[in-house]
A and B are shown apart, each in its own frame.
Chain A
Amino acid sequence: MSWSRSLDPSGWQPDIPIVSYSLDNGLKLFVLPDDTVPVVSVQLHYHVGSRNELPGITGISHLFEHLMFRGTETLGPEEFARILQSKGGEVNAFTTRDHTSYFENLPTTHLELALSLEADRLRALKLDEENFQTERQVVVSERKLRSVDSPFGLVVEQLFATAYTQHPYAWPIIGWDQDLRRLTLRDCLSYFRSYYHPGNLALVIAGDVQPEIAREMVGRHFGDFPGRSAPEALIVEEPPQRGERRAIFKKVSMVEAFFAGFHVVGLGHPDIYPLTLLAVILSGGKSSRLYQEFVRPGRAAEMQVELSPPPWTSQDADLLIMTAVAAPGTALAALEADLWKTLERLEQDGVEEEELARAKKLLRSQTVQALSKNFYRGLMVGLFYLKTGDASLANQVLGRYEAVTREDIIRVTRQYLREDNRTVVILKPVSPEESQRLGALA
């Protein structure tokens, strides 16, 4: 730790230092120097996610993420992870609707090793039928874990499939079971060629490194890839919803629940800030409206408003989701009716100044806490750049929340939390026998 730094909170600035470079082959590099701890977070964000898929090959982005660990011309399966982990690294990857991200958080002394191995798997990934089949089985098991056997997994999938009729956010990131079984190695290789190249990559290095040194290292390992421009921008839109949609999903469950989704905005839209604050006013903290009205008295096991906050908000219009899990003995229909009444009251009476101030302080404090990690600093910059084209937005988040007024909160409530813009999926518990009569879960 650099002991020269102040212990006075008033002198602290939230700015992340961002030094950006563009390589001739199209690769975009962001270096965020900070010498607090001798570690770096190396992040490769490829601009491809389930948003780029088509019906019939859903899940290919995520399956491909797995295949990136299955070896290269010189490394065996999983050796990539094993080598970097043995240096103390946290090595992993995740796929979202909009991007596929690979990261290594590790001691700075091994930064160059991480870059050389990342370049190696981009250049010389080796895929054969046997590897492909093994990994496909792993993903089928992962789908069962996350969706099929999880209490709400399939219900939330149903919500997205009902709320989105034309936009690719309709299908789950992990893909439909039958698509996973149908995908071929050839599909994956063609996907790799389309989306995995420097022109479609944002590389972030956050932590204890000088920007020029990082730039040289990246040049050494990624500079000689041939130049290719980014794939043509994919423009997809969900048409405005014209009336409430409702669906029922029956499964074995100890609880009754409903999930209500409202189409809102993507990360680049300024309304994401009042919407995020609205979600906090409704259910953030134990003094929030929904906690006090539903959870504290034990009417609901859960009553939560979820909207992925920046930088996690999706690129295109996201869903704000209200999750209500009835406590045993509470009627679900009454719970739903009361929730809509609470929203109506908010629309009519607005919010108190203190409520808004509380929500702002909560988001400020969450942001400050997250900025203690290189990993999060890197994500802020990388994800804002990828989804909006503007990395500097990462440093404006706190100011944007601060600027939101009580009128903004009422305006977004009226504009987005409308009945016509709402999709509700109800989880209806059934006995194991009835569940079996309804057919297999997939």
Chain B
Amino acid sequence: MAAHIPEVYQVRLPNGMNLLGVEYRRVPWVSLTFMAKRGSETDPAGKAGVADWTVEYLTLGTGRRSQLQLAQEVDSLGAHLGARGDWDASRLTLEGLAEDFQELLAILAEVVQTPAFPEEELILLRERRRAELAQILDEPRELASRRYYRLFFGEAPYGQAVRGEPESLEAIELSDLKSYYYREINPLAASLVVVGMIPFSRVEAEVQRLWGTWKGGGQPSPPYTSAPAKLCSPGLYLLDRPEWTQSEIRLGHLGLPRSHPDYFPLRLANYVLGEGGFSSRLMTRIRSELGKTYGIKSLFHFRRAPGPFTVSTFTPAAHTAEVVQEIVAVIRDFRDHGPTSQELAEAKSYYVGHFPLTLETPRAISRRLQSMDLYDLGLDYLQHYTDRINAVTLEEAQRAAQTYLKPEALVILVVGPAAHCRESLAALGPLTLIADQ
């Protein structure tokens, strides 16, 4: 084992909860994450945001303390308590100085195990989210991505925004959050990840004491693992934003789940296509050669169920149609021929060389542990990571590009000033104008 790869500890508590940890020696810091392995995938229809609101609600008051008392306690330790929903999981993270480990772990246990769901907080939370949403919808990139997922997945789980949609603001009630909590926040489908300057023996003893007897509510929902039967039809869509000077472009199709055996070949192929910055085909063509954008990226969103494959960029409105055409041409060419052996070698050496940089901080190590646990990658994942990268052959990477890129099935969304791009876009093919939601 290379010296910089940390040893990962794991213990299963009597209540079924998983504890994972790494001893970190560089600075006296500790990162604690409680991860419930259900996320916004289980939000009820029309109530997007329930998972995310629920974990935030846990921080708004417990049986012992109000929101203000909790916040004062956390702030007085110089710590940060964050709560976020995600597609496949919901997390509460508390980070602070290692000297305060015991207090921090107790606060996290109190928040997760004994929430009071104070009624008066709902109105405040709703107002905060309303204000946040108004701000988000002014951000071109955010707006375009949200609208794209909604267009692509419709009402299916990955189509609704994790933080909530305008219509769910009014629809969510306190009973939704409580029933989410008592169903999904459960030791049987949860883990605690501790990375910090604390011996693991002490971590284990404290966790056993504070978490070992917690029971949680009922039976968590079965995890969401398969793509919806019906998705948006391929084609070209336009949402008008007359006041913008640039167009935001999103295009893509359905991708693969994290558990897919072709994960590594596809990851490497996509690095060459659009994830590898200036090494990527898309950046080389659209930015370096044509100067039409500041940035462009392609991503396979690997989740428990098949997530989307997306290309994201923006360009001054007059270039919109040309950029769409160029992107499709790059994808098509890459699908047909795949990476060259030199490109693949560079992609591999990037991931291998970059690996130690992803293990530098407690937060980064914690993220690694969380995804190993969430997607059942095995406790020895870090030890074999570089071997798995190096084992990918040129044929495998080319076959991955050929099999999983579908330039003929692209759903293409442009959000921008129609007056400056509609005509040239319509020349590319049938164009559907869509409304805000």
Contact A361 B359 (CB under 8 A): no
Contact A365 B25 (CB under 8 A): no
Contact A7 B198 (CB under 8 A): yes
Q: Which of A141, A301, A354, A368 contacts B131 (CB 8 A)?
A: A301
Residues of A within 8 Å of B208, CB to CB, are: none
Contact B293 A138 (CB under 8 A): yes
Instruction: Report which B residues bind A (CB closer than 8 A).
Output: 3-4, 6, 23, 25-29, 67-68, 71-72, 74-80, 95-99, 123-124, 126-128, 130-132, 134-135, 137-140, 197-199, 242-246, 276-279, 283-284, 287-294, 314-316, 345-347, 349-357, 359-362
Instruction: Report which A residues bind B (CB closer than 8 A).
Output: 1-3, 5-10, 12, 34, 36-39, 69, 77-78, 81-82, 85-91, 105-107, 110, 133-142, 144-145, 148-151, 251-255, 284-288, 291-292, 295-298, 300-302, 325, 327-328, 354, 357-358, 360-366, 368-369, 371-374, 432, 435-436, 441
Residues of A within 8 Å of B315, CB to CB, are: 141
A137–B319 Cα distance when bound, in Å, is 12
Contact A38 B4 (CB under 8 A): yes
Q: Which of B25, B138, B292, B314 contacts A6 (CB 8 A)?
A: B25
Contact A141 B292 (CB under 8 A): yes
Q: Which of A138, A253, A328, A366 contacts B291 (CB 8 A)?
A: A138
Contact A138 B279 (CB under 8 A): no
Chain A, residue nearest B342 (CB): A86
Contact A134 B288 (CB under 8 A): yes
Residues of A within 8 Å of B26, CB to CB, are: 1, 5, 34, 36, 372
A134–B286 Cα distance when bound, in Å, is 11
Q: Which of A38, A69, A362, A374 contacts B78 (CB 8 A)?
A: A362
Task: Give 14 pairs: A residue, B residue, CB < 8 Å, sorted on A.
Answer: A38-B4, A82-B278, A90-B357, A297-B127, A298-B124, A298-B126, A327-B134, A363-B78, A368-B28, A368-B97, A372-B27, A372-B29, A432-B242, A436-B243
Residues of A within 8 Å of B97, CB to CB, are: 9, 361, 364-365, 368
Contact A365 B96 (CB under 8 A): yes
Q: Which of A87, A253, A302, A369 contacts B349 (CB 8 A)?
A: A87
Given contacts A90-B354, A286-B74, A361-B78, 14 further A-B contacts (CB under 8 A): A8-B197, A37-B357, A85-B350, A86-B346, A87-B353, A89-B354, A91-B278, A138-B294, A285-B80, A292-B68, A301-B134, A358-B78, A368-B27, A432-B242
Contact B245 A144 (CB under 8 A): yes
Contact B4 A1 (CB under 8 A): yes
A253–B124 Cα distance when bound, in Å, is 23
Contact B355 A88 (CB under 8 A): yes
A78–B353 Cα distance when bound, in Å, is 19
Chain B, residue nearest A286 (CB): B71
Residues of B within 8 Å of A297, CB to CB, are: 124, 127
Chain A, residue nearest B134 (CB): A254
Contact A107 B128 (CB under 8 A): no
Residues of A within 8 Å of B360, CB to CB, are: 36-37, 39, 372-374
The 3 A-B residue pairs with the shortest CB-CB distance in the complex, in nearest-first order: A88-B353, A298-B127, A301-B131
Known: A138-B291, A328-B131. A358 touches B76 (CB 8 A): yes
- Distance in Å: Cβ of B27 to nearest Cβ of chain A: 5
A316–B352 Cα distance when bound, in Å, is 42
- Distance in Å: Cβ of B381 to nearest Cβ of chain A: 17
Residues of B within 8 Å of A139, CB to CB, are: 294
Contact B198 A357 (CB under 8 A): no
A288–B123 Cα distance when bound, in Å, is 20
Contact A372 B361 (CB under 8 A): yes
Contact B99 A9 (CB under 8 A): yes
Residues of A within 8 Å of B75, CB to CB, are: 284-288, 358, 361-362
A298–B128 Cα distance when bound, in Å, is 5
Residues of B within 8 Å of A368, CB to CB, are: 27-29, 97
Contact A145 B291 (CB under 8 A): no
Known: A1-B3, A140-B316, A358-B75. A253 touches B138 (CB 8 A): yes
Residues of B within 8 Å of A298, CB to CB, are: 123-124, 126-128, 130-131
Chain B, residue nearest A8 (CB): B197
Contact B278 A78 (CB under 8 A): yes
Contact A88 B349 (CB under 8 A): yes
Known: A7-B199, A78-B288, A358-B78. A301 touches B135 (CB 8 A): yes
A107–B75 Cα distance when bound, in Å, is 36
Chain A, residue nearest B348 (CB): A86
Contact A296 B67 (CB under 8 A): yes
Contact A88 B354 (CB under 8 A): yes
A140–B276 Cα distance when bound, in Å, is 23
Chain B, residue nearest A152 (CB): B138
Chain B, residue nearest A89 (CB): B353
Contact B134 A328 (CB under 8 A): yes
Known: A138-B293, A287-B71. A301 touches B132 (CB 8 A): yes
A6–B197 Cα distance when bound, in Å, is 8
A211–B137 Cα distance when bound, in Å, is 50
Known: A328-B134, A372-B29. A7 touches B284 (CB 8 A): no
- Distance in Å: Cβ of B82 to nearest Cβ of chain A: 10
A300–B351 Cα distance when bound, in Å, is 43
A185–B127 Cα distance when bound, in Å, is 51
- Distance in Å: Cβ of A7 to nearest Cβ of chain B: 5
Q: Which of B78, B134, B197, B356 contacts A39 (CB 8 A)?
A: B356
Residues of A within 8 Å of B198, CB to CB, are: 7
Known: A138-B287, A365-B78. A1 touches B6 (CB 8 A): yes
A352–B290 Cα distance when bound, in Å, is 58
A295–B293 Cα distance when bound, in Å, is 36
Chain B, residue nearest A374 (CB): B360
A148–B123 Cα distance when bound, in Å, is 34
Q: Which of A148, A354, A360 contacts B245 (CB 8 A)?
A: A148
Residues of A within 8 Å of B23, CB to CB, are: 7
Contact B291 A81 (CB under 8 A): no
Residues of B within 8 Å of A85, CB to CB, are: 276-279, 346, 350
Contact B316 A144 (CB under 8 A): yes
Residues of B within 8 Å of A138, CB to CB, are: 287, 291, 293-294
A89–B97 Cα distance when bound, in Å, is 29
- Distance in Å: Cβ of A380 to nearest Cβ of chain B: 13
